[in-house]
Chain A
């Protein structure tokens, strides 16, 4: 684990010399990676000096040196917390992202075969899907609806006329030998996405940042390869030809965290407009990132131009990232690798790299010389797609409320915190918000109270936290609640809102309400139809306030049980006040059903103590 440079070892063993300066410096420096030791040894003159026998004046025992080095290594290996690792002083990172999302459509892009997710392999395959000679593509125009919705949500200009092109490469999951995509004339161009602090962007980006969307295009998915234990590749053509949406951002992202926030936000937006089938974690969303670095002081060669952004360093592409964490981690790792190469005098090659989850380094997949020339050609069978203004207007007007708007409504009208609002919006593909709003609507009806902020906070707590607890207790992620994107849930909104209403109107205690929720959940899961009222009736759980006599009785028993504390209370002062609280706690403990009102209890016990003074 601890690798001592051979030169240092040799110097110690053969000459009894130690390079102290290096040790000291390492401790002072920003932690760097292990191998940077070697790099510096080559490129900084001070280190070459360290090899000079003259540097022996300040000798430190070898054991200590090893210890220090190990310490330094430890601190460098220990990941800097990610939020600290966003900005480097000397280098600027630039990232552009391509996101692939599976469009939510009933049919494939160019055949009438149904789009399915986990059906029996090779059961939804049209002749064209397997490139049968003589078969032709037929554009399924319904696929435009979710695609245009997504483009509108990303503030893109939907093009009046767009076209399909063939991108050629051989792979067994690509039956035609080419993928039909939109290269020359994409569906939509020139959009942007606004990321706010609450979206989780790097703090260096401030409160909000706008990232340009270069284009949004439609393309075909590939077949699914299933590799058997024997090493055979089985192909499932159900997936081939499914419509994908590719979203390409401009290289305007400078922090890894912002990149991850962008991907997350795109997913939220796509869900909000019902354009996308599955979330990133389920494989419905994949991202490729283009990473380059340049010196902040403008030195070094950085004269590449990508998507109209000039003066960038040579970029590399990391393919197929399938989680937000992977996006951030891969960018950090690739950024650090590029800086390391450049600082050691190397040159970044334009290449494609891969990332496996949990690793610390990106891996080279193929270099420029191995790059495929895709030989883009307009598909001669497919005419242009013409999008009429009427369709655009209709889709724009039926787009619904986008998440950013939704969050501000939840925050301002319903009194939720931004954090809770974000969680609500991102859960169940927007279904949780629907559910929340239904619950609040019911509460307004039940209580007659119009204070949406108060009711919103109340409902928010239950819909988000209490119900969230249920789901995690059940152990199945989100699925236990069976929440749909329309806001239907295994616990009907009317049931939950009446439960909250009983609590809100002091008809049951908070303790009771919390106890009832899992019972309600279990009943509904099993299909037992029972109203909340019946459940409270059966359990005799209605809140009956304690009578004055009962309060007094409990207070007296507490006072009798703790004479010493009573004395101290009577003694007054700060100490006395503390003891009063202790006695109050004792009172509350004696009320197992949680019916005791603390304010009244305080009043009663104070009276009882006063009485005991006499």
Chain B
């Protein structure tokens, strides 16, 4: 799968010096000006200083190399575009440039975004800064590493099925995928158009606010970007919903009203114990802050991964048909004669193995004999996954007409909160990835299907187009293992358009997170004080709201509660709850 020489075609990357040179995070770099100033400084001076909206800290911007830039090549990590110079600039980089950002370089990635470990690049794999033998995640691995080792303050990635969140989780940085259509994709080389979103990586959540603010907004050149009129309609709907539920006003005043959902299906047996503990600890912090934590069910999640790996390759196979070497890109010496199969040599030489695999997959699932059983089924599953989320969130999905969920249609595993139906939540909190970053050695032994497993928690939000963020969270000491990061990515998923509150919630968790305020993320120590003894635990959270039975068959007939839950009601005992979920039957 890997190219023989990792240095093949690598450009002269100024930032890749010393230890960082080995990380291979960048494919190309903005050259330093002659006057000795830092490139970013010179760049900013060229602009109207009043326009430098972005604080100094977030000026240095790395851009994933599948986002078109007019000054640096845009290779998509592919051999076929190894020398491609885009004639135009992407909307997102143009907007951020106007807001004062300086592009320091283009970061390495899995070819066209296809991969979960940033090992499928024509320019060689990206390497982890602290754990050399481990995956950095993908496909925005270069952007994540560039942030982790502070080669830039913020980085742009693209998230199709977790390509921003997964590397963020593996490298210990924050990775944010906004709602689909919020940041225009004009200039973003598509992998799977219906899933692609521009994502942002940063060391801290706070940097994301100003970036999102400047990057979002309608661009008429992107037909999938949300129009101003639609956004206005959504805004009004949000307002109505907030007033109805009595939680309008600033975020900080409503923390006590915040309801966090724990998707019971995400507590899979493959979940690493350390990560499970980190998840529980994160939930506990929310409880301590006064938020309510309730279990929710997303029954169709189990099909989400398969649906994703049908839809994404199908769109990819279609999108990648344009690379024929005729108008741009590399071209083999063979003739284009119509006698042979057209372009087979050019495409055969230009694409890497994983890309070829997904083109074949996609071509098959779209073929007339297979489309009904694969592509169309997958689209139906996608709709079911979206409905799962819409049912769980208290904020309606304002892109779709409101839907009545018939209780009798509901999966039996869905817990009811009151006679009106299951509890509805503001956000869902779950791990970003089921395990710590796997070793490269393990990956090389895995089948391609096994490597797809890493996306199991990130794919559902992508299919539903929802905003999601991964923030690093410490793994308790007793679960730490040598040569393994001591942090896990905790993912927060929100309803469509709830991006701002999602960032607020992420910032809340970041602030509650144990450890010194200024820790180096990659190595942050675990604050043992945050780990309470089980005895303490019991004392603090009495075991009353135990409505999850261990025996699924005998489990509640839908539990109808006559009274809505009050603030005084005791919190869910997470340890108990998790234990009971682990025993749930799970389809393979």
Contacts and interface: CB of A to CB of B under 8 A. Distances in A.
Interface of A: 127, 130-139, 166, 168, 170-172, 175-178, 235, 373, 375-377, 380-383
Given A136-B185, A171-B342, A377-B314, 17 more contacts: A127-B87, A133-B74, A134-B90, A134-B188, A136-B186, A136-B224, A168-B366, A170-B321, A172-B326, A177-B320, A177-B321, A177-B324, A373-B368, A376-B366, A376-B371, A380-B193, A382-B223
B223 A166 contact: no
B483 to A, nearest CB: 39
Contact of A134 (B74, B194, B343, B368): B74
Nearest to B379: A378
B189 A138 contact: no
Nearest to A233: B336
Contacts of B185: 136
Contacts of A176: 321-322
A138 B322 contact: no
A137 B223 contact: yes
Contact of A175 (B187, B190, B194, B327): B327
B326 A136 contact: no
A236 to B, nearest CB: 13
B336 A172 contact: yes
B81 interface: yes
B327 A130 contact: yes
A364 to B, nearest CB: 16
A168 B366 CA distance: 10
A134 B187 contact: yes
Nearest to A170: B342
A133 B321 contact: no
A381 B193 contact: yes
Interface string B100-121: 0000000000000000000000
B86 A133 contact: yes
A166 B190 CA distance: 15
Contacts of B206: none
Nearest to A131: B322
A134 B223 contact: no
A365 to B, nearest CB: 11
A170 B88 contact: no
Contacts of B326: 172, 175, 235
Bin chain B's interface residue count: 35 or more
B327 A375 contact: no
A377 B336 CA distance: 26
A373 B367 contact: yes
A478 to B, nearest CB: 37
A136 B81 contact: no
B220 interface: yes
A284 B375 CA distance: 36
A74 to B, nearest CB: 40
A145 to B, nearest CB: 20
A175 B192 CA distance: 18
20 contacts: A133-B74, A133-B76, A133-B189, A134-B67, A134-B86, A134-B187, A134-B189, A166-B318, A168-B321, A170-B321, A170-B324, A170-B342, A170-B343, A171-B342, A177-B320, A177-B324, A375-B371, A380-B194, A381-B193, A381-B224
Contact of B192 (A168, A178, A380): A380
Given A133-B68, A171-B342, A375 B189 contact: no
Contacts of A382: 223
Contact of B87 (A132, A139, A381, A383): A132
A422 B321 CA distance: 48
Residue among A130, A131, A139, A235 with the highest chain B CB neighbour number at 10 A: A131
A381 B326 CA distance: 23
B363 interface: yes
Nearest to A382: B223
B328 A132 contact: yes
Contacts of B188: 134
A131 B190 CA distance: 11
A601 to B, nearest CB: 76
Contacts of B90: 134
B95 interface: no
Interface in B201-229: 220-224
B229 to A, nearest CB: 14
B571 interface: no
A81 B139 CA distance: 69
Contacts of B67: 134
Contacts of A377: 314-315, 318, 366, 375
Contacts of A381: 190, 193, 223-224
A137 B318 CA distance: 14
Contacts of B356: none
B84 interface: yes
Interface in B291-324: 314-315, 317-318, 320-324
Given A134-B90, A375-B367, A380-B194, A177 B223 contact: no
B549 to A, nearest CB: 43
A235 B327 CA distance: 10
A457 to B, nearest CB: 56
Contacts of A170: 321, 324, 342-343
Given A176-B321, A177-B324, A138 B88 contact: no
B366 A375 contact: yes
B72 to A, nearest CB: 13
A134 B321 contact: no
B437 to A, nearest CB: 30
Nearest to A139: B223
Contacts of B220: 138
A133 B81 contact: yes
Interface string B149-192: 00000000000000000000000000000000000011111101
Contacts of A373: 367-368
B544 to A, nearest CB: 48
Contacts of B324: 170, 172, 177
B342 A132 contact: no
Nearest to B341: A170
B68 to A, nearest CB: 4
Given A168-B321, A380-B194, A132 B223 contact: no
A136 B192 contact: no
Given A170-B321, A377-B318, A136 B86 contact: no
A376 B368 CA distance: 8
Contacts of B84: 133
Contacts of A380: 192-194, 224, 315
A374 to B, nearest CB: 8
